[in-house]
């Protein structure tokens, strides 16, 4: 290491010899710190595991169909809302407004899609346990796509019959199914749904579920690409100085992030999330209905119509995530999913309901650690100075990278 160092920074080595200051590498990271840095690197990401609940998840034809459905506004009540309305390709598959907007206005901020195939639970309160189950929520939500499952089944029969049947089974006969019917629609749609026979309801729901599975086959390919931070880690863990990759301010911010500021308690691993739910005292958005976060989300996922345990899952195995799920625990009150911090600088405003406008304001929140509106915040005041907070913010900006869509043979960068 010393001989390598000598090649790069002879001046520093001489200096350290004079001052007697021991350098483990040119940026003075200890072995333990280097291990932490490595654990945050994208190179540590495991290959994507199969999803036993979705037999079509790794079928390229399903992904091709899912991609078309993702961009198709016919899958909405007014013919104007596609999944791509809120998850825009040029905005890292998000919008940039505080509360998502579909047919109406939602109560939550649109979450990014990249790497969500790796999350055991989806949505801020984790009320869904797979990407395909998640995809179905907004389709039937009155304020997002606002349509009904019968309408979506007809859309598939009218526009995607061949593609659908090449992946899934032959479409059912929908001639006796009204154009709009579903358990979550308006009064007329719900009434029409109750008039259908059980066999018809199951047939329509199966098509609806397969729409979700095709969309998930596409979405699971959307991942984060390497950032400047990852380049830096690759350099310093192989004994190179990493100068010129990150600035001094950014490196100081990284040191605070993994050290005194305690961010890696929750934002850890290559995606900077422990995939858990925590109460961090983020105030509710004024004027919105009260929301207890994971407390309701945990119960909701256990009873979800489309969970891993449901008849619609392709898995006949056990569902460990649900089996060991803790619900009805007070600690879940106003706990929200820990979001990934990759590409975070591109995603203002922040938090579950877009309550916090800027990264600087997010850091101010962590530094003050205000009491929670309900439940208990797990944060404590950090006592950091303005300069420290700027440095952490500078570090967070180094986590920007391309969003990539993995194909079977190629990886397409979309930005
Ligand atoms: C106790 C766990 C915990 C700790 C410690 C923690 N966070 Fe968070 N972080 C969360 C949770 C949970 C959210 C989402 C909260 C919400 O939306 O209500 C979040 C949200 C964020 C966001 C907003 C991301 C987005 O997309 O909206 C940023 C940025 C962030 N954290 C950075 C940090 C930094 C920097 C630190 C260290 C100073 C830190 N966090 C420490 C759990 C934690």
279, 284, 339, best to mutate for ligand 1 pocket (most atoms within 8 Å of CB) = 339
- Residue 271, preceding bond cis, omega within 30 degrees? no
Range with the lowest mean pLDDT among 69-83, 151-165, 193-207? Answer: 69-83
What is the band of 113 on the pLDDT scale with cuts at 50, 70, 90?
confident
For residue 22, pLDDT beyond 50: no
Q: Is 353 in the pocket of ligand 1 (CB under 6 A)?
A: no
Q: Is 350 in the pocket of ligand 1 (CB under 6 A)?
A: yes
Residue of 150, 133, 160, 169 whose CA lies nearest to 66? 160
> 49 C-alpha vs ligand 1 centroid, how far in Å?
26
> 175 C-alpha vs ligand 1 centroid, how far in Å?
50
Q: Is 40 in the pocket of ligand 1 (CB under 6 A)?
A: no
What is the band of 12 on the pLDDT scale with cuts at 50, 70, 90?
very low
- Decide: 264 and 257 in contact? Cβ < 8 Å: yes
Instruction: Give pLDDT, residue 99.
Output: 60
Q: Is 137 in the pocket of ligand 1 (CB under 6 A)?
A: no
Which distant-in-sequence residues (6+ apart) come within 8 Å of 324 by Cβ?
none
Q: Is 309 in the pocket of ligand 1 (CB under 6 A)?
A: no
Burial class (CB in 10 A: 0-12, 13-18, 19+), 326: exposed
Give nearest CA residue, ligand 1 atom 5.
263
> 247 C-alpha vs ligand 1 centroid, how far in Å?
23
Angle in degrees, CA 41, 47, 48, rounded to 5: 115
Q: Which two tokens stand for residue 155?
A: 């859309």
Q: Is 254 in the pocket of ligand 1 (CB under 6 A)?
A: no
What's the pLDDT tens digit per position in 391-403? 999 999 999 999 9
Q: What length is written for the chain?
A: 415
Instruction: Give pLDDT, residue 243.
Output: 84
Q: What average pLDDT score do residues 113-119 get? A: 92
Q: Is 111 in the pocket of ligand 1 (CB under 6 A)?
A: no
Q: Is 157 in the pocket of ligand 1 (CB under 6 A)?
A: no
What's the pLDDT tens digit per position in 336-382? 999 999 999 999 999 999 999 999 999 999 999 999 999 999 999 99
For the four alpha carbons of 378, 383, 389 and 395, in that order, the dihedral sign comes to negative
What's the pLDDT tens digit per position in 306-319? 999 999 999 988 89
Residue of 212, 217, 193 whose CA lies nearest to 62? 217
What is the band of 290 on the pLDDT scale with cuts at 50, 70, 90?
confident
What's the pLDDT tens digit per position in 314-342? 998 889 899 989 888 889 999 999 999 99
Instruction: Give pLDDT, residue 18.
Output: 41
b/e map 95-120, b = 16+ CB within 10 Å:
beebbbbbbeebebbbbbbbbbbbbe
Instruction: Give pLDDT, residue 288.
Output: 83
Give nearest CA residue, ligand 1 atom 41.
263
Q: Is 266 in the pocket of ligand 1 (CB under 6 A)?
A: yes
């Amino acid at each position: 290491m010393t001989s390598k160092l000598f090649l790069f920074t002879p001046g520093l080595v001489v200096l350290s010899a004079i001052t007697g200051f021991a350098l483990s590498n040119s940026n003075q990271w200890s072995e333990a710190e280097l291990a932490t840095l490595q654990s945050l690197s994208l190179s540590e990401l495991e290959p994507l595991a199969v999803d036993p609940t979705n037999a079509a998840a790794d079928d390229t034809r399903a992904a091709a169909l899912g991609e078309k459905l993702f961009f198709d506004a016919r899958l909405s009540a007014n013919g104007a809302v596609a999944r791509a309305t809120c998850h825009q390709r040029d905005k890292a598959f998000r919008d940039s407004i505080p509360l998502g907007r579909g047919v109406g206005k939602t109560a939550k901020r649109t979450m990014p899609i990249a790497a969500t195939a790796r999350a055991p639970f989806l949505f801020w309160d984790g009320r869904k346990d797979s990407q395909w189950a998640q995809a179905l929520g907004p389709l039937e939500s009155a304020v997002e796509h606002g349509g009904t499952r019968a309408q979506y089944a007809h859309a598939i029969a009218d526009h995607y019959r061949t593609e659908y049947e090449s992946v899934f089974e032959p479409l059912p006969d929908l001639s006796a199914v009204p154009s709009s019917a579903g358990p979550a629609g308006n009064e007329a749609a719900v009434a029409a749904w109750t008039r259908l026979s059980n066999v018809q309801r199951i047939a329509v729901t199966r098509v609806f579920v397969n729409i979700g599975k095709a969309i998930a086959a596409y979405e699971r390919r959307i991942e984060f690409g390497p950032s400047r931070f990852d380049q830096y880690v690759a350099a310093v863990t192989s004994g190179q100085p990493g100068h010129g990759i990150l600035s001094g301010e950014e490196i100081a911010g990284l040191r605070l992030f993994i050290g005194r500021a305690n961010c890696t308690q929750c934002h850890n691993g290559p995606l900077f999330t422990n995939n858990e739910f925590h109460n961090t005292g983020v105030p509710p958005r004024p004027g919105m209905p009260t929301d207890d976060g994971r407390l309701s989300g945990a119960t909701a996922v256990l009873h979800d119509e489309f969970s891993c345990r449901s008849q619609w899952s392709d898995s006949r195995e056990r569902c460990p995530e649900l089996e060991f799920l803790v619900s009805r625990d007070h600690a879940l009150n106003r706990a929200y999913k820990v979001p990934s911090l990759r590409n975070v600088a591109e995603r203002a405003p922040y938090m579950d309901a877009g309550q916090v406008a800027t990264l600087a304001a997010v850091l101010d929140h962590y530094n003050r650690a205000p009491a929670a509106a309900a439940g208990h915040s797990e944060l404590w005041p950090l006592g950091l100075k303005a300069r420290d907070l700027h440095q952490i913010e500078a570090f967070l900006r180094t986590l920007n990278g391309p969003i990539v869509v993995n194909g079977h043979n190629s990886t397409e960068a979309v930005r």
